[in-house]
Amino acid sequence: MLATARQDFRAILDLVGDRSRVLDVGCGEGELLELLVRERRADARGLEISPHGVSACLARGLSVMQGDADRDLADFPTRAFDYVILSQTLQAVLNPRQVLLELLRIGERAIVSLPNFGHWRVRLDLLVHGRMPVTGALPEPWWSTPNIHLCTLRDFIETVAAIDLRIEACFAFVEGRAARAIDPAHPLENWRAESALFLLARRGEP
Amino acid sequence: MDDVGDLAPGSAVWSGTWKFGPDTPLVLDCGGEIRDLQIAYTTHGRLDADRSNAILVCHALTLDQYVASSNPVTGRRAWWAAMVGDGRPIDPRRHFIICANVVGGCMGTSGPSSFDPATGRPYGLGFPFITIADMVRAQAMLVEALGIETLFAVVGGSMGGMQVLQWAADYPERLFAAVCIASAARHSAQNIAFHEVGRQAIMADPDWRGGAYASVGVRPEKGLAVARMAAHITYLSESALQRKFGRELQRDGLSWGFDADFQVESYLRHQGASFVDRFDANSYLYITRAMDYFDLGAGRAGGLAEAFARARDVRFCVFSFTSDWLYPTAESRAIVRALNVAGARTSFLEIDTDKGHDAFLLDEPVLSAALGGFLDAAAQERRRP
């Protein structure tokens, strides 16, 4: 999971333009925010649910608000950010569709990464053992996982289309390897990607 | 100015009164003014060479300028020793800490118990009505008089937090960072209601004498004590009160009378009785009124966010407490929302505690750590070219 997060960060930094306004939803202790400030001179903000995480961010000089994606995104004004980032969190929110819409109300673009439940190892685990899969991208057993809305790449692109959002770019991750640009609609990628990162925009806008 | 002097080298403590002359009156929101304004204040630490380490601490309703040293008049200990002191987040070894008694107060700053130069008697109800903005305007005069162009930070809890917000609205260019703890951008109906109970208790005391008690040589102690008892309940959470006292009795068995049978009654009576020794009833009326009148977003087309429109470059940190029902988290979130709309750099933390509103005065490790981290990071950023 950690390795995946680091891979995420690199790909996210590559997508974010210099001096952008960025909101990191679920920013943890602010590792990504700090990179965005240092390497992209971003005007960066964070939203984090744990008091410990918020405290750690404050000590790093980051502007972070306590809150969760389901409830508190409504507190941000419309189009306040160039990018809103939701890294490996969408599968843990109560209302993923609403959260996606909120991300693209607040931001011009959203960068969303999530584990792919269509990965071959997940499918094989379930097929062979008949148990909820535990893999590198999904390390927790069913009873302690925060992931309540897992989906496959295919599920995700269908949902994105249904709520009038558009995928501008997609990158696949397999543990230990660099991000690879993919066409998420290609059936093979739904087998190969352990997790994926999407750059999303509102449909019908340049 | 009178000077209480240095207690120790490197952590100088000053206590004095700044007397403004008749040519620099405090102009008030109500249309009046205070001539011969006096501001009683304390400072801790030393102002550095480039005058960039000053922190103004704004006090709450019934507190005073003795933020980190004991009050020489009442003997009461420093009210924010948990947060201000050597090794604390606000540290006199690094910061120059200013705390001034608010206008309308009774600890040396001009207020209803001050002498009215026009009559030679205490003002009483002749004192003009004051607002949170007036308090802040007076603080700004003091800060300027001390030769400080930009404060490193303004920090306050409860009514002190209201002053912090008012500073951000009125003098954003004179602030680097702002910390608002357990506060609100306006008084709710419930806040006003509780204050009204307190004021009515004071005014119902025959010794109040229409506010002129000082001229007669009496004090409305019973009314002020009841006001304090009612207010004190709002500073604690239901669960903290229950945990502390439950239904515990003072003595074995009931008295079948109206003595303080329950420990909670005895505690509240003690709170009321000790309060009247250190606070003036008319100050209580004036300051609670100022809080009730506070509504930072009122009269602005863009609401609260418009109040912060010029404060984009101020680094804000807002704290609330889960069990604070006087200024609940929703009030802090409304502040944060407005700051976000204004595009200000905003941090917010809700601290989990059952100690209620008064948690901001107590040694709360999560608050200390978070505030310390915020101030340290801001100081580093300020030093950066």
Structural domains of chain A sorted by starting position, each given as residue range(s) with its CATH number in brackets: 2-202 (3.40.50.150)
What's the pLDDT score for residue A136?
A: 82
Burial B145-163, CB ≥16 within 10 A → b, else e:
ebebeebbbbbbbbbbbbb
In chain B, where the domains are located: 13-187+293-383, 190-290
Taking alpha carbons only, the member of B324, B325, B309 closest to residue B361 is B324
State the CB neighbour count (10 A cutoff) for residue A39: 12
User: pLDDT of B69-124, one tens digit each?
Assistant: 998 888 889 999 999 999 999 999 999 999 999 999 999 999 999 999 888 899 99
Contact flag B345-A54 (C-beta cutoff 8 Å): no
pLDDT higher than 70, residue B221: yes
What's the pLDDT score for residue A111?
A: 98
Please state the rounded mean pLDDT for residues B155-160.
Answer: 98
Question: For residues B345 and B351, what is the distance between their CA atoms, to the nearest angstrom?
Answer: 20
Give, in words, the CATH class of B190-290: mainly alpha
Please state the rounded mean pLDDT for residues B317-334.
Answer: 98
pLDDT higher than 50, residue B9: no
DSSP 8-class letter at A171: E
Please state the rounded mean pLDDT for residues B163-167.
Answer: 98
- Dihedral of the CA atoms B41, B59, B36, B18 (nearest 10)? 10
pLDDT higher than 80, residue B173: yes
Chains A, B: CB contacts under 8 A, how many?
Answer: 65
Contact flag B370-A54 (C-beta cutoff 8 Å): yes
**Helix (H) / strand (E) containing A114:** strand A107-115
Q: How many CA atoms lie within 13 A of B250 on its CB side?
A: 14
Asked if the C-beta of A180 comes within 8 angstroms of chain B's C-beta atoms, the answer is no
Are residues A33 and A62 in contact, defined by beta-carbon separation less than 8 angstroms?
A: yes
What's the pLDDT score for residue A3?
A: 45
Contact flag A66-B346 (C-beta cutoff 8 Å): no
DSSP, collapsed to helix, strand or coil, labels residue A73 as helix
- Dihedral of the CA atoms A88, A93, A95, A101 (nearest 10)? -40
Q: pLDDT band at B348, cuts 50/70/90? A: very high
Nearest chain B residue to A43, by CA: B345
What's the predicted TM-score (pTM) here?
0.94
B372 neighbourhood in chain A, CB within 8 Å? 59
- The separation between the first and the last C-alpha atoms of chain A, rounded to the nearest angstrom, is 34
Are residues B212 and B206 in contact, defined by beta-carbon separation less than 8 angstroms?
A: no
What's the pLDDT score for residue B232?
A: 97
pLDDT higher than 70, residue B61: yes
What's the pLDDT score for residue B385?
A: 66
A77 neighbourhood in chain B, CB within 8 Å? 340-341
What's the pLDDT score for residue B354?
A: 95
Q: How far is C-alpha B202 from the chain's CA centre? A: 21
Give me the catalytic one of B44, B187, B232, B357. Answer: B357
Give yes or no: B158 in active site. yes
**Helix (H) / strand (E) containing A113:** strand A107-115
Please state, for a pLDDT cut of 90, what percent of chain B lies above it.
91
pLDDT higher than 90, residue B2: no
Asked if the C-beta of A105 comes within 8 angstroms of chain B's C-beta atoms, the answer is no
Domain B13-187+293-383 has CATH 3.30.1490.20: no
Contact flag B340-A76 (C-beta cutoff 8 Å): yes
What's the pLDDT score for residue B118?
A: 85
Task: Enumerate residues 6+ apart whose C-beta is below 8 A from A21.
Answer: A42, A43, A80, A81, A82, A83
What's the pLDDT score for residue A137?
A: 83
pLDDT higher than 70, residue B36: yes
Q: Which residues of chain A have pLDDT under 70?
A: 1-5, 205-206
Q: How many CA atoms lie within 13 A of A198 on its CB side?
A: 27
